[in-house]
Amino acid sequence: MPPPKLPIGVQSFEKMRTEGYAYVDKTWFISDMVAKGSYYFLSRPRRFGKSLFIDTLDCAFSGRKELFSGLYLDSPEAEWDFTITYPVLRIDFAGGSLSHISDLISRLSSTLDEWEEHYEIEKSSGDPGNRLLSLIPKITKITGKQVVILVDEYDRPILDNIADISTMQEMRDCLKNFYGAIKPLDLHLKFVLLTGVSKFAKTGIFSGLNNLRDITLNEGYSAICGYTHDDLKTVFREYLDDLDLNAVKNWYNGYSWTGESVYNPFDILLLLEERTFRPFWFETGTPSFLITLWQKRPRLPAEYDGLIAGDELLGSFDPENIRTETLLFQAGYLTIKSWTADPVRGFRCVLGYPNTEVRVSLNLLFLEVLSSHDISGVRDRLYDALEQGDAEDLHSCFHSFFASIPHDWYRNNPVARYEGYYASVVYTYFASLGYEVIPEDTSNKGRIDLTVKTRTGIWIFEFKVLGVDTSGDESPLDQIKRRGYAEKYRSDSRRIYEIGIVFNPETRNIERWEI
């Protein structure tokens, strides 16, 4: 019997279940959500399976029992009655481009037209919000059933126009009016789910629909979209021959919203199809406004790894006062590594890169923007220097790179006079190669500024800045030796390299390189 087909690009639940595609059962979440509430909001990055989950909900509420054979929702434990069906109204912003407010109004109006035609209701007039407010009770009266509303990519019209403040505000106000019409319809609604990438809590969109339960950071729903490691080993077991599962996990797993971590489905499906490790998800498109925002408020990637955040950073997105960290988290470039919650401080978490794919790709992207040219050749040379133990060529690589950073970067970054800045640039370069890079590496004698582990060696770096922290006689290499930083790695079979670097803030480059 042939293995199930890989559902690359398939977002139809019916197609998956009837045409032999592999399907990861997410129907437990449907049973749980309906049992516990009626109004939900879920934020997840692009290509994590939100559209498929919406379509699965549609089929469940439409009574498509034949599609759920063998799945949790069709088991006695789920207590789901497929004989009771509900009218399902879907609003989908996932496809197409909406670059003018007229495009959005036209999209909403045509959706309402279709519903009125389907239920043979006289066509109404007015803005989309008022039309929705009038339409839902009529559908309830005609069918004798409460209505299900499913909104896919509710925020797409805003995100697509976030660089154009005027258009973005028009889109926001229109959506605020439309979504706000849902709350007064409580008596007529069975279930409501809005999905998207970002939560615009500070923009007023949810002020009229404030009864939504946000399950984005709910531990129990962390795996509602995406594949768990167990999913990979069971559903796709026929495709795992000759694949190193530890390497797969390091490269692609790690996305977490306070609960079980998951893989991005797009990554896994293309890996299983093409049998090669590549940044499939990252290559599908980094929003240009992220790069523009980062250039306005530059911060080196090392500073994002280990960032402390709370609800004020993660919980909402203000397009008129964008925080890069919020955008990186909601877009999937940062994830929750650990978290705590207590009555005094509330929710706090530590953010970091989810996996090797994102860490390598994002660091490489920022390096190219920083230096304004293709650095692939320099990276190859840097890789060879590390693997061959050529510390002098490594010195030459970094000297050239620091020389390539435009003067404007230093002018816009007062921190560029301090050790942390230079350490972050070095970190960014090593991280773009995919190595294990440990900033502030702890030992019983103190903290190592930076440790890099390659296949052939362990590189220990100590940084100082001329005129800032070199007032004493001790050089950075002397500090490494005096404190015995290398001792924690003596049992490792790899060769150990100790490098002391002194930077000059006036020349903005390396003053001394000690091996």
Distance, CA of 222 to CA of 215 (rounded, Å): 9
- 224-238, 278-292, 424-438, 442-456: which range is least confident on average? 278-292
> Do 413 and 457 fall into the same domain?
yes
For residue 55, name the pLDDT band (cuts at 50, 70, 90). Answer: very high
Task: Specify if 421 maps to a domain.
Answer: yes
Query: How confident is the model over 329-339, as a mean pLDDT?
Result: 92
Q: What local confidence, expressed as pLDDT, does residue 415 receive?
A: 47
Structure tokens that stand for 173 in this block: 């106000």
> Do 189 and 101 fall into the same domain?
yes
Position 384, amino acid: D
Task: Specify if 242 maps to a domain.
Answer: no
> Do 36 and 163 fall into the same domain?
yes
Looking at every residue in the chain, the average pLDDT score rounds to 88
CA-based torsion, 225, 228, 230, 236: positive or negative = positive
DSSP, res 489: G
Q: What local confidence, expressed as pLDDT, does residue 373 receive?
A: 65
The three-state DSSP-derived secondary structure of 39-74 is: EEEEECCCCCCHHHHHHHHHHHHCCCHHHHCCCHHH
Task: Specify if 444 maps to a domain.
Answer: yes
Structure tokens that stand for 329 in this block: 């988290």
Parent domain of 451: 372-514
For residue 29, name the pLDDT band (cuts at 50, 70, 90). Answer: very high
Query: How confident is the model over 388-407, as a mean pLDDT?
Result: 87
Task: Specify if 236 maps to a domain.
Answer: no
Query: How confident is the model over 382-406, as a mean pLDDT?
Result: 89
- Cβ atoms of 331 and 342 closer than 8 Å: no
**C-beta neighbour count of 512 within 10 angstroms:** 15
Q: What local confidence, expressed as pLDDT, does residue 161 receive?
A: 85
Structure tokens that stand for 149 in this block: 């509303």
Query: How confident is the model over 383-408, as a mean pLDDT?
Result: 87
Domain endpoint, select from 196, 221, 246? 221
> Do 141 and 179 fall into the same domain?
yes
Which residue has 């009529």 as its token pair? 138
For residue 90, pLDDT over 50 is answered with: yes
Q: What distances in angstroms separate CA 371 from CA 263, 295, 299, one per listed residue?
A: 32, 12, 14
> Do 190 and 47 fall into the same domain?
yes
Task: Specify if 200 maps to a domain.
Answer: yes
Structure tokens that stand for 505 in this block: 């803030």
For residue 208, name the pLDDT band (cuts at 50, 70, 90). Answer: low
Return the biggest CA–CA distance within the chain: 87
> Do 394 and 452 fall into the same domain?
yes
> Do 377 and 476 fall into the same domain?
yes
Run of H or E residues at 383: helix 376-387
For residue 215, name the pLDDT band (cuts at 50, 70, 90). Answer: very high
pLDDT tens-digit series, residues 170-185: 998 999 999 999 989 9
Q: Which residue has the higher pLDDT, 227 or 325?
A: 227
CATH code of the domain containing 473: 3.40.1350
What phi-psi label fits residue 483: left (phi over 0), alpha (psi between -120 and 50 degrees) or beta? alpha
Query: How confident is the model over 382-395, as a mean pLDDT?
Result: 94
> Do 197 and 346 fall into the same domain?
no
Task: Specify if 235 maps to a domain.
Answer: no
For residue 467, pLDDT over 80 is answered with: no
| Three-state DSSP class for residue 168 | helix
Q: What distances in angstroms separate CA 189 from CA 37, 213, 443, 490, 495, one per listed residue?
A: 12, 15, 59, 66, 66
* Range ranked top by mean pLDDT from 25-29, 201-205, 217-221: 25-29
Which of 93, 89, 205, 200 lies closest to 146, judged by CA? 89
Query: How confident is the model over 305-322, as a mean pLDDT?
Result: 76
CA-based torsion, 162, 164, 170, 173: positive or negative = positive
pTM recorded for the entire structure: 0.88
Query: How confident is the model over 370-397, as a mean pLDDT?
Result: 85
Structure tokens that stand for 251 in this block: 């490269």
Q: What is the CA radius of gyration of the chain?
A: 26
For residue 207, pLDDT over 70 is answered with: no
Q: What local confidence, expressed as pLDDT, does residue 26 receive?
A: 98
> Do 346 and 382 fall into the same domain?
no
> Do 376 and 343 fall into the same domain?
no
Query: How confident is the model over 209-225, as a mean pLDDT?
Result: 91
> Do 157 and 66 fall into the same domain?
yes
Position 340, amino acid: T
For residue 52, pLDDT over 80 is answered with: yes
Q: Residue 310's beta-bridge partner residues?
A: 348
DSSP, res 3: P
> Do 304 and 378 fall into the same domain?
no
Q: What local confidence, expressed as pLDDT, does residue 264 receive?
A: 97
Query: How confident is the model over 372-399, as a mean pLDDT?
Result: 87
For residue 224, pLDDT over 90 is answered with: yes
For residue 372, pLDDT over 70 is answered with: no
Burial class (CB in 10 A: 0-12, 13-18, 19+), 417: middle
Task: Specify if 274 maps to a domain.
Answer: no
- 262-271, 421-430, 489-498: which range is least confident on average? 421-430
CATH code of the domain containing 155: 3.40.50
Q: Which residue has the higher pLDDT, 397 or 275?
A: 275
Task: Specify if 140 maps to a domain.
Answer: yes
Burial class (CB in 10 A: 0-12, 13-18, 19+), 312: exposed
pLDDT tens-digit series, residues 498-513: 999 998 888 888 999 9
Q: How many domains does the chain have?
A: 3
Position 477, amino acid: L
Distance, C-alpha 343 to centroid of its chain: 28
pLDDT tens-digit series, residues 99-152: 899 999 999 999 999 999 999 999 888 999 999 999 999 999 999 999 999 999
Structure tokens that stand for 308 in this block: 């402390």
For residue 251, pLDDT over 90 is answered with: yes
Dihedrals phi, psi of 379, to nearest 5 degrees? -65, -40
For residue 203, pLDDT over 60 is answered with: no
